[in-house]
Amino acid sequence: MKKTARQAVPVLQTHGRSTMAVRLALLVLLLLGAGMIASGLAGIRAYKASGFNTEEAYSDIYQLNGELDDYYDTYVTTILAQLTDTQREALRSATDGLLMEQWLAGGEDAQARVAALLEKAQDPDRMEYELLTLSYGLSGPKVTSAVKKSLATVSQRDSFRQELLLCMLDENQAVPEAASAALEGLTGTERQSMLLQLFFASAKDSNETVPTDLINSLKKSVRDSSARLTAYEMTVNGQVNFLMRIVYTNSRSVILLGILLSLDVILLTFLLKKEKSWRVDFKWIIILLIVDFMLVFQLMPTIYLLVKSLFPEGSLSLETFKRLYSYSMNWSALKNTLICATFTMILGTVIAFPLAWLVGRTNLYAKKFFRSLFVLTYMVPPYLGAMAWLRLLNPNVGNINVVLRWILGIQGSTGPLNIYSIGGLIWVLTSFYYPYAFITISRAMEKMDPSLEEASRISGASPVKTVLKITFPMMTPSLIAGALLVFICAASAYGIPSIIGAPGKIHTVTTRIIEYYGLGTQGINDATGMAVFLMLLAIMILYVSDFVVSKRQYITVSGKSTRPNIVELNKWRIPLTVLVGLFAVIMILLPFMTILFTSFKVDVGKTVWEAGNFTTSQWTEIFSRKETLECLRNSLVFAVSTATIGIIVSCVMSYLLQRTRVTGRKIPDFMIALGSGTPSVVIALGLIMTMKGTFGVNIYNTAYIMIVAYMIKYLMMGMRTVVSAMSQIHVSLEESSQVSGASWLRTMYKITGPLIFPSIAAGWFLIFIPSFYELSMTTLLYSNTTKTIGFQLYEYWTYTSQPQASAMAFGILMVVVFLNALLHRLTKGEFSI
């Protein structure tokens, strides 16, 4: 029986603005956007014309302008005032000469430009000094650290500097003590130059005229002389218009914002036209903001990757791919990825379906316990599994192999099972990704109308036949969805293949991408090529999965209380429970215990029980290290931020989707879904390539890029929980609150909020936990200050020591289990994933 969804009612009433005002406002904003784009482009053009190497030059220049002003007023005016007129004249001609010498290298053009500057200047003296200060800072004689040290000894700076000036005027003047070493052996212009340089340097206690980092930054940008000239002119020319300043120093960001603003206005106009009303609803603003976020951080990087790999030289070509796959290593990586993903999908689904049926529809013992257990695995870092199985199935010293050899009486010291193989990879991938299928299928099973199966029973079909003829076919869409999910997770996995595949030289697309990334610029392009392939695969699968599930929507929500018909297992009850228990032991207990034991070992090769091999030092070691604590802090901060922002966005989106009829509300929803389906490596790579400032956003190497990456990948988890919770609250609950006189806000706070709070909390955790232990994206996006716990663990395992890594891993595991338990308690065991 179909249940028709009742259309949600727009609950939020905002006051409308008049049509004219709205249209005017939109027009103004559009013009503003266009203006921003234009000025940004102008800024870029100016930059290109300036000959500067980097755009930071602009901000350096504006900063220097301030410094120079300061410097002159504070340190030069007083000294000059104490000179006589004649002295000042003489000084003027001396510095004139020095100035021209400095600028000689620039040729006649330089001299002409300086002359023009000085002519226009209000205070030529001042300008000259500022020019000199700057040029001496950029390319004057070197002030060695020894000289700097002796300068530091000078107590009376002002008189010292006066003396230096007098030395400039009179060759025979006695040189002050502190300066003698620097002036040793210098004559003529060289001497004058050094005297002047010392004059500039000794102005502040830091013994530098203008901040060294500013100078260094500017030096990077003004290598050639014409650029330097432009820099000088700009610096000493006085204040630049404030607006210009902003545009010049941030031209790309201004363009980006201009584009977004214009796009928003156009979209808004389109929406308004569609609604046939000119009332601006602030819900649209929210949609637009979320769309903007997605456009910049998700769509743009994706398109960039596509363009870069499909149009390497400006025209559409598959050269990149042909070249990449001409290498046998890449080709085998591709094969491996596809083989592993396919078999993992098959194996995972074959495991998940009966488990879901047993746990959800029969009278198996300890059903609830098993269900929680299998769902728990979903929330454990996959690389943990890889580490554990490595220890268990290592061909030489793996525990299981040792036992098997003993049981089967095999001679020798290797085998029979080898984890460093495709088979091993498939095994570990399956053991960590089958929960995805399990959860999808469980959810569908629980929602199925039990009377459909009862009808089959009463028609004469045994329980088994009912499963085969009714349950299974009706589950097919969910089965396919679950299977595809496993496929794409296995294909996008990085942690497991890198830990297991590496020693046996088994490459997958993801490991190749990360390897390429480490190879420099050309490597990045190659990484892009491989990433695009993975991305296209993911999109295709997402589309297919969506198509299949939506077209054959068999899930019926029954009106009566859904107590699924429990199938009696009778004589099979105990054997099946034992089987499932055994499965749980092998899949979950064994790996976790292995990690635990390994963490107490001194020598990885021996067992924990051997004499002298037990120690707690590994544990104390890692927790005493400062880096561990720093990584932990980073992970916590990133994960908390991601989760909090993410859940707020989820709540907003959920409300928009289910309680309003706003056009276009499905767009951000679609983009969020797309984000979660994109392989982590691809997301990270896309961000790296576009977030270095080329497109106006520069968050590379910062904490923000990590948070953005996590958000894109994990936002969906929060969305799903909140959306599902809200869908179960009938809109009449809110309507009755409104009718009782409560405002929208009060309704949210007193009615909706408390009802969906457990799901909000659940959603928060579901975003928090994977963000906390994330590895793949971190591997590409980390910087020295933004290492996370997952990455740290990976490094320990690969480079430092397995026992220590195990200790860390178990620590992470404990945190995750604890959080899961908390989540379970909070939502009274009902959170749905």
Partner 1 sequence: MSTVRINHITKAFGENVVLKEFNETFDHGEFVTLLGPSGCGKTTMLRIIAGFEHPTEGELYIDDTLVSSNRAFVPPEKRNVGMVFQSYAVWPHMNVFNNVAYPLSIKRIPKAKIAEEVDRVLSIVHLNQYSERFPNQLSGGQQQRVALARALVAAPGLLLLDEPLSNLDAKLRESMRFEIKEIQRNLNITVVYVTHDQTEAMAMSDRIFLINRGVVQQSGTPEEIYNRPVNQFVADFLGKVQFFKGTTENGMIRFAEMEGQTLPYDGPKTGNVEAAIRPERIRIAKEETPGALKGTMEQSYYLGDVNDVRVRVGQTTVRVIADAWTYNEFQTGDTVYLTPVDFLVFDDEGSLQEQLQINT
Binding residues vs partner 1 (CB under 8 A): 1-2, 449, 451-452, 454-463, 465, 469-470, 473-474, 476, 552, 554, 556, 558-560, 565, 568
Tokens standing for residue 573 = 């009850």
Q: Which is nearer to partner 1, 340 or 474 (CB)?
A: 474
Q: Which is nearer to partner 1, 473 or 518 (CB)?
A: 473
Q: CA 833, CA 371: separation in Å to the nearest integer?
A: 12
Tally: H helices and E strands in the chain:
41, 0
Minimum Å distance from CB 364 to partner 1?
18
Minimum Å distance from CB 477 to partner 1?
10
Q: Which is nearer to partner 1, 34 or 555 (CB)?
A: 555
Tokens standing for residue 351 = 């495991």
- HEC profile of 418-430: CCCCHHHHHHHHH
Minimum Å distance from CB 777 to partner 1?
41
Minimum Å distance from CB 266 to partner 1?
40
Could you count the other beta carbons within 10 Å of the beta carbon of residue 744?
15
Q: Which is nearer to partner 1, 60 or 453 (CB)?
A: 453
Residue 287, classed as helix, strand or coil, is helix
Minimum Å distance from CB 348 to partner 1?
24
Minimum Å distance from CB 524 to partner 1?
49
Q: How far is CA 801 from CA 598, 602, 607, 739, 832, in A?
A: 11, 10, 16, 65, 38
Q: Put residue 662 in one of left, alpha, beta given phi > 0 → left and psi -120 to 50 → alpha.
A: beta
Nearest-10 crossing angle of helices 367-378, 573-584? 20
Minimum Å distance from CB 355 to partner 1?
23
Residue 698, classed as helix, strand or coil, is strand
Minimum Å distance from CB 463 to partner 1?
8
What are the φ/ψ torsions at residue 12 (nearest 5 degrees)?
A: -80, 125
Q: Cα(first)–Cα(last) distance of the chain, in Å?
A: 26
Minimum Å distance from CB 469 to partner 1?
8
Q: CA 557, CA 564: separation in Å to the nearest integer?
A: 12
Could you count the other beta carbons within 10 Å of the beta carbon of residue 164?
24
Q: Are 56 and 221 in contact (CB under 8 A)?
A: yes
Q: Which is nearer to partner 1, 59 or 363 (CB)?
A: 363
Q: Which is nearer to partner 1, 279 or 457 (CB)?
A: 457
Q: Which residues contact 742 (CB under 8 A, 6 or more apart)?
A: 750, 751
Minimum Å distance from CB 258 to partner 1?
50
Q: Which is nearer to partner 1, 21 or 566 (CB)?
A: 566
Q: Which is nearer to partner 1, 124 or 450 (CB)?
A: 450
Minimum Å distance from CB 566 to partner 1?
9
Q: Which is nearer to partner 1, 564 or 758 (CB)?
A: 564
Q: Which is nearer to partner 1, 70 or 568 (CB)?
A: 568
Cis peptide before 416 (omega within 30 of 0): yes
Q: Put residue 417 in one of left, alpha, beta given phi > 0 → left and psi -120 to 50 → alpha.
A: beta
Q: CA 121, CA 72: separation in Å to the nearest integer?
A: 15
Task: Indicate the DSSP class of residue 570.
Answer: G
Could you count the other beta carbons within 10 Å of the beta carbon of residue 424?
23
Q: Which is nearer to partner 1, 281 or 449 (CB)?
A: 449
